[in-house]
Structure 1
C-alpha cells in the first residue's frame, strides 16, 4: 500500500529550522514528492544559504519521515537557492544583485558596523556570494575592519564603473577607497547623498546573493536616499539593551516602516559581559531590551551578542571574528543570526512568488 501523500507532508510539517521559525511545508521548501511501492523521493530547496546546516536538516527530515515510510527507501535531495526580493517593486533591481539588506542603528556606538561585517562574512561562510557597501560617507570604517591596506583603490572599467576590491571572500565598496584616510569628508547632506548614489550605481558587482549596506547611525539624508533610490529587500536594526539605545532603535524601525522596507530582525549587542577571570555574567547595559523591541514591532530577535573584547579586537585588526575564530561561541551566534536574517527574507520572497502564482491562476484570460 502506497504511503499517503498527506502523511509525508504532515511529517515534514514537524520539522522547524530555527532559521525559518516555521515548518518546511509552510515555508514552501518542498519542491517535489514522488511515492511508489518501493521508495519515497523528495527534493527540498531552502531559500537561504545553509551549507553548514544541510547535514543537520537531512538528519531531522530522515527522523521525521522514518515512521511513515512503511519500509520504503528514502531518496532525499537537499539544496538551497537565493531568490530576488525587493520591497520597492517599482524600482529596477541593481544589476547582478539579488538582495540588498540595510544594517542600521538609531545611534552610534552600538556596534552596527561590526555586526554588519560579521553578518556578511557569516552569509559567505554558508556559501552565499556577498558584497558590502559602506554607506557611512562621513565615517567609513569597512576598509579598516576588513583588513584592506591604506591606499587600496577600486578597479575601473570603461572609465566610469568601479570594480569593488575583495577581502575575506566578499566584495567591498567604500568612499574610504576614494579619499585619504586622514582627510575628513566635509560635505553637506545633498553632496553626501549624491556620493552614495554614485557608489551604488557605478559599482559593478559580480553576481551577488546579498549586498549588505552598512548605514551611518540615525535617520537622515543617507537613509532616505537609500530608501528612495535603492531597491532594498529588508533591513536589520542593531541596538544595545540600554534604554537610550532602544529609544533610538525604535526611530530606526519606524523610519523603515514609513518607507515600506521590512525589518527582518533586531540584533542586540553588548547583551551580557562575562568576566574572563571568574566567569561572572553581568548585564551591564540592561537585560532583555532587544527581545522586547523585536516583540513590540512583531519582528525577530536575530541574536544577542555579548560584550566581548575579542569581537572588538578582531574587527580592529581587520580579521573579523567570524573568519578569525570561526569555532568560537561568538562566531556561532553571528552564524545563527545570519541564517535567521536570510531565512526570514526567503519567506518574504517565496510569499511574493506564491501570491503571484495565485493571481495568475485566478486572473481571467482575455482573448
Structure 2
C-alpha cells in the first residue's frame, strides 16, 4: 500500500498489492501494480467506486474515528523477524507507562500466537460485552489489555484463519473495544505479529482512516496526529534478524509510519555476579569426576554445583565483586549492528536491552519489570527507552501524570 503512485491509500483494500493506485482511481485494475492482485477484476469493474461502496467506506471511517477519538497516541511495535521480543517490549513499555500514572491500552494483534495475556498478568481472563462494546481486561487500574486469547474457550486452541478473518477481528478490536471509557487513553500500544503483510497493512489502513491528519499537521509536514503516532522497531544484533528488520523499516517508509526508534533487544546476557550459578567440572573435581579422554570438560550431568562455596569465598575475600555485572554476547553483532542500521535509515536508536533473567521472569509472572526489579541490569535501559518515548510523544495538559513521572524519576535515582 503506497500513496506514492497517486492513489487514495486510505481506500486501498487490505489485501492489495504494494503500489496500489487505489480502487477509486481511473487506472484501478489497469496498471502494472495490479497484476496478480485478487481485487483486480473488482477494481476494473468499478465495484469499489460505486456510490454504495463509497458510502460503506465512509461509514466505516466514521466508526473508526469515533472508536479511537479519545486516544492521544497509537504506537506500533514492529519487527519483520519473529522471536526478537516484540511482545516483551510491548508489554513492559505498556506496564512501565502505566506505573508512571498514564492511562494505557495494550492490543495484541498476533492472532495465531498471542503472548501478551501471560506477560501482562491477565491470562485466563475473559472479556465481557457492555453497551459501550467489549470491556478489556485490566491487570492494573490504568492498563487495559485486549487479545484473542480472551475470546478462546481453550487456551491451547489453534487459530487457523485466513487473512481476511484476522483483519476483521483486528478491526473489531479497534472499533468495538471500550478503550479507556469516557476518559480515553494516553497511549495505545499495539503488539504486532512478524512480517509486513496482511495484518500490518490493515492496521495502518485502519489507523489512517481513524486518525486523519489535521490541516495544521499537513502544513507542517508532520504526521504525529495522522494514522499511527509512530513505530518502535525491535531487533536482535545479528544479521539474520537485521535482514528482516530492514524490510520492516522500508515498510514503515512506504506506509508513512514514523519510526520512533530501534530497540536492540537481547543485546548480551547481563547478570550480577551474586545471581550467577557456578559449577566445577569433573576434570578438576577432587571427588573423582573425570572428563573426556581428549581433555574436554565433562557433560553438565557430571558437573558439581559449587555456587555456595564460590559466593562465600567472594564475600570473604572480595565482596565488591558480588555487585558487579557479568556480561556475555549471546548474539554476535554484525558490522555496526542495530545502531549502524538506525544511522543508515536515519531513525533514532533507542538503546540496548540486555538479556536479563529478571526481565524474563517478570514476563512469565505478568509483573512490571521496572517496579519489581528496579536495580536489575535491564531496568535502566528500559526506563531510558520509556523516557525517550514520552519525550517523542508527550501527553498534553496532564499535570497529574507529569507529577507521577517526576516522582518515578526521583525513585529511580
Classify the TM-score, shorter chain. 0.5 to 0.7
Contact 1:264 1:345 (8 Å CA) reproduced? no
Contact 2:73 2:393 (8 Å CA) reproduced? no
Contact 1:102 1:213 (8 Å CA) reproduced? yes
Please state which structure has a larger fraction of its residues in helix.
Answer: 2
CA distance in 2, matches of 1:254, 1:342: 24
From 325, 329, 335, the counterpart of 2:383: 335
What residue in structure 2 maps to residue 322 of structure 1? 370
Contact 1:133 1:211 (8 Å CA) reproduced? yes
Output one character per residue of 1:94-149: Cα deviation in whole Å (capped at 9) or x when no partner. Answer: 13211110001111111110011111122223332111000101111111111114
What residue in structure 2 maps to residue 293 of structure 1? 341
Q: Does 2:147 correspond to 1:174?
A: yes
CA distance in 1, matches of 2:342, 2:171: 30
Question: Would the alpha carbon gap of residues 149 and 112 (structure 1) be closer, same or farther in structure 2, given more than 3 Å must change?
Answer: closer
Describe how 1:49-198 pairs up with structure 2 within 5 A: 92=65, 94-150=68-124, 152-158=125-131, 161-168=133-140, 169-179=142-152, 180-198=154-172
From 318, 324, 328, the counterpart of 1:282: 328
Partner SS, residue 203 of structure 2: helix
What residue in structure 1 maps to residue 33 of structure 2? none
What residue in structure 2 maps to residue 11 of structure 1? none
CA distance in 1, matches of 2:117, 2:241: 26
From 158, 162, 177, the counterpart of 1:203: 177
Contact 2:137 2:146 (8 Å CA) reproduced? yes
Q: When the two structures are aligned, how many residues end up with a matched partner? A: 257
What residue in structure 2 maps to residue 48 of structure 1? none
Which stretch shifts more, 230-239 or 123-132?
Answer: 123-132
Provide structure 1 residue ranges, at least 5 long, that are not aligned to the other structure.
Answer: 1-87, 350-367
Output one character per residue of 1:315-341: Cα deviation in whole Å (capped at 9) or x when no partner. Answer: 012224123223434222211101212
Contact 1:265 1:299 (8 Å CA) reproduced? yes
Which stretch shifts more, 254-263 or 331-340?
Answer: 331-340
Contact 1:267 1:302 (8 Å CA) reproduced? yes
What residue in structure 2 maps to residue 239 of structure 1? 235
Q: Does 2:249 correspond to 1:253?
A: yes
Output one character per residue of 1:168-214: Cα deviation in whole Å (capped at 9) or x when no partner. Answer: 34110111100121111110011111111111110011110100000
Task: Measure how far apart 1:218 and its partner are.
Answer: 1.1
What residue in structure 2 maps to residue 220 of structure 1? 197
Contact 1:95 1:205 (8 Å CA) reproduced? no
Task: Measure how far apart 1:274 and its partner are.
Answer: 3.0
Task: Measure how far apart 1:280 and its partner are.
Answer: 4.1
Bigger Rg, structure 1 or 2: 2
CA distance in 2, matches of 1:97, 1:312: 30
Describe how 1:345-360 pairs up with structure 2 within 5 A: 345-346=393-394
Contact 1:145 1:320 (8 Å CA) reproduced? no
Query: RMSD of aligned C-alpha atoms?
Result: 2.2
CA distance in 1, matches of 2:326, 2:98: 34
Moved over 6 A (4+): none
What residue in structure 1 maps to residue 19 of structure 2? none
Contact 2:358 2:373 (8 Å CA) reproduced? no
Contact 1:143 1:174 (8 Å CA) reproduced? yes
Which stretch shifts more, 273-282 or 189-198?
Answer: 273-282
CA distance in 2, matches of 1:101, 1:175: 19
Higher relative contact order (CA 8 A, sep 6+): 1
CA distance in 2, matches of 1:252, 1:321: 27
Contact 2:354 2:377 (8 Å CA) reproduced? no
Task: Measure how far apart 1:303 and its partner are.
Answer: 2.2
Provide structure 2 residue ranges, at least 5 long, that are not aligned to the other structure.
Answer: 1-60, 208-226, 277-320, 397-413
